Structure 1
Amino acid sequence: MHRLRTALALGATAALFLAACGGSDDDDAAGGSTPTGSRGSAVSAERCAQNEAAGRVTYVTGFQYQASASILDPIAARALGYFDDVCLDVEIQPGTGETAQNAQLVAAGTAQVSSIAGNGDVLVNVANGVDVKAVAMFGHVPVATLMTKPDITDLKQLEGTTLGQKGALPVTIEAMLRAKGVDLSKVKQVVVGYDPSVLVRGQVQSLTGYKSNEPLTLAAMGEEVTEWNPEDYGVPGSIATTIVNPAFLADHRTAVEDFLRAQLKAYAYCEDHAEECVADAAELSQAGYDTDHNVEVWRTETGLVDGSLPAGQVLGQIDEAPVRTEGDFLVQMRQIPAVPDLGEVVVPDLVPSLYSGGELVWPVP
């Protein structure tokens, strides 16, 4: 039901990867990889013209330039020349981690495409009147985890102790605790920063975090922690949903298709060349980028993504059924009043159209 994580040979880091700004083409064009092909080499002249008609496509990352799924792969797609191969002019801007801000930027047309934490964040924003469409999803598992020292063997032991969180208890963690019968009124919650050593120093007895971040930092310190994961208790979740501006999708569907096509091609490349892709992301960050840690972030997240891909589906595919499952869960947890009309929110046919026989189509016929 839970996993005891042992030490990994990682580079220690803080959870934040420090601010970095967008900028000119030269500023946000990642280096370190040699672009392949030439302008329009992967599309016909007609499709090239359609994509160029879309103008500059602004993509906002989920959080800075960290090596997460749906962040590192678009960065690599640009560095490798894949966007150029399909005649797309892509500007990459770093997000702050505020999912509502990303959704609002896309809805307003300030950005055309963005990564957002998961389906639940899409549904909360849509329920709040933000008009975006979800076109892709990478992981079918919650990314949040609750860490304790190994002496905690039952979550009920957390009653009478202190839990550290980042400003709010993640709804998936709350659901897990309630499923195990924990009386949350007996758990003192405090807001802590992004230094997970507060757990091993005993300042808190449990700590919320992300599977691809804090446990890696603690392992690098030689500390053993137990990860309590919501999916082990039947709690649904997702990782890395891609949202687009509905008007942009309607006017420039080929551009959206080929953005995702290039991203998915880069994802496969980065699975085999993690260090190279992370080096591209590091060049975009102004300072303080922990390359070793980010390599492990990428490997951890791709492991979560690949390991949770449903049989018979292709990478990136989004369907209404799992989104509805998360929506029903959010209603149950009183996060949204009702599940929005998913026919107006989810575009399930887009990603499958990029594949043939389970293989990504590249170049485009």
Structure 2
Amino acid sequence: MPPTPLSRTARALAAASALALTAAGCSSDGDDQERDVAVVVDDERCEANADLGTLTYVTGYHYQASVTQLEVMSAEALGYFDAVCLDIEIQPGNGDVMGNAQLVSAGTAHFTPTSNEAEILQAHERDHDIIGVATYGHVPISSLLTGPDVEDLTELEGQTLGHQSMLPAPLEAMLTEAGVDIDSIDQVEAGYDPSVLPRDQVQALAGFRSNEPHQLDAMGENYTEWLPEEFGVVGSFGVMAVNPEWAGENPEAVEDFLRATGRAFDHCADNGEECVAHAEELDEAGYDTEHNLAVWESESELVGSSTPEDRPRGHIDLSLTEEEAGTLVDVGELEEVPDLEPLFDPQYLEAVHTAAEIVWADDQ
């Protein structure tokens, strides 16, 4: 039976105040080289984390510098996973959110991000057993791009709309709110090259406000960006997902994963270029550092602006989640809003924070 949130917090605080130890034996380097990193958890917790062996984190999309991706890659590079004695293997995803959810549900992977909280609910509808343990952005990250000549979204009826693997729920809700007959739109998978829009291969393109607009700007293309919140649609982004059974059996590992990535987020907020360089080292193809820095700066700024000052980054607000779930009901994705508490568990994140601050031993 998992401990109560109060006992989790008490143990986390006790562990954080323990004497720093040497990180030998808890290295997450593939070549077994030890890092000169101070451990910030006690001996028993370090041993328990190390005994889990290699834990797999699958990115949402390759090594892009998005929230819930860049801080994980940086936590590895900076030795923060070593500091909590976790061995994390980072595997690149290809943008298939439901495919990643299936991996976590099956126990093949341990951590993966989703684009928003709605995708946790959509995964649940597909019998993928995952839960959200942190939500970093509390505004929709999705946006819809059209040519500059589109003045009303109803003009898209009878046209072609491109998306990556599925139409994001906030965009579907926005189109519905705008009075668009979505069934009249031809939806196609268009990949991640936004040039399909100015080439008129699609007349609308689903994207991320931190990604495709920057790319089109760099191309010198003209477009119109439609934001869901301008139509009264709520949303979220940057959700970390885990398997609930595994998390219940290994709560301290989940806590310490969030502890290390939270520490990395703090570092990357002030050192974006350095953290993007960590991601570049993992990418074997050509890596656009300038674009990825823009992605990180856009998303981390949205996280900051949508997080109340008295709440930790990644906090879960079920009242907002319920509103977002309501959009799925409105567009027919769900028959009703399910019981949300089993699908979003804030206790792991809360256990490694005091108020809004991450608990780290050398902060004491």
Asked if these proteins are the same fold (TM beyond 0.5), I'd say yes
Distance 1:166 1:80, change over 3 A: closer
Q: Greater shift after overlay, 86-95 or 320-329?
A: 320-329
Normalised by the size of structure 2, how large is the TM-score?
0.84
Taking the TM superposition and a 5 Å limit, the aligned residue runs for 1:1-365 are: 25-26=29-30, 37-38=37-38, 40=39, 42-159=40-157, 161-166=159-164, 168-184=166-182, 187=185, 189=187, 191-310=189-308, 312-363=310-361
Could you say what secondary structure the match of 1:200 adopts?
coil
Report the Cα offset of residue 236 of structure 1. 2.0
Q: CA deviation at 1:168?
A: 4.4
SS at 1:237 equivalent = coil
Instruction: Return the alpha-carbon distance in structure 1 between the equivalents of residues 275 and 164 of structure 2.
Output: 29
Offset from partner CA, 1:236-275 (integer Å, 9 cap, x none): 2211211112232122211110110100110111111111
1:167 CA displacement: 5.5
Secondary structure at the counterpart of residue 351 of structure 2: helix
Name the amino acid aligned to 1:210: F
For 1:307, give the aligned amino acid: S
1: CA distance, partners of 2:170 / 2:358: 33
Q: 1:37 to 1:97 in 2, by over 3 A?
A: same
The whole-number CA distance in structure 2 between the counterparts of 1:111 and 1:185 is 35
Instruction: Structure 2: state its 5+ residue gaps.
Output: 1-27
CA distance in 2, matches of 1:179, 1:92: 39
Moved more, 320-329 or 290-299: 320-329
Shift of 1:198: 3.3
**Counterparts of 1:217 and 1:198 in 2: how far apart (Å)?**
12
Q: Deviations over 1:305-324 (max 9, x none)?
A: 22222453210111322222
**Cα gap change, 1:133/1:189 in structure 2, threshold over 3 Å: closer, same or farther?**
closer
Residue 47 to residue 285, structure 1, CA distance change in 2 (3 Å): same
Residues of 1 paired with 2:50 and 2:315: CA distance? 25
Q: CA RMSD in A?
A: 2.6
Q: List runs of 5+ in structure 1 lacking aligned partners.
A: 1-23
In structure 2, relative to structure 1, the CA distance for the partners of 1:177 and 1:75 (3 Å cut) is: same
Deviation at 1:80, TM superposition (A): 0.1
Offset from partner CA, 1:201-256 (integer Å, 9 cap, x none): 44444322211211101111223322100111111221121111223212221111
- TM value normalised by structure 1: 0.84
Deviations 1:84-138 (A, max 9, x none): 0111111111122212221121122111222122211111111222222211111
Q: 1:201 to 1:105 in 2, by over 3 A?
A: closer
Query: Secondary structure in 2 aligned to 1:240?
Result: strand
Aligned partner letter, 2:289: T
- Looking at structure 2, the residues matched to 161 and 336 of structure 1 have their Cα atoms a distance apart, in angstroms, of 26
Q: 1:28 to 1:193 in 2, by over 3 A?
A: farther
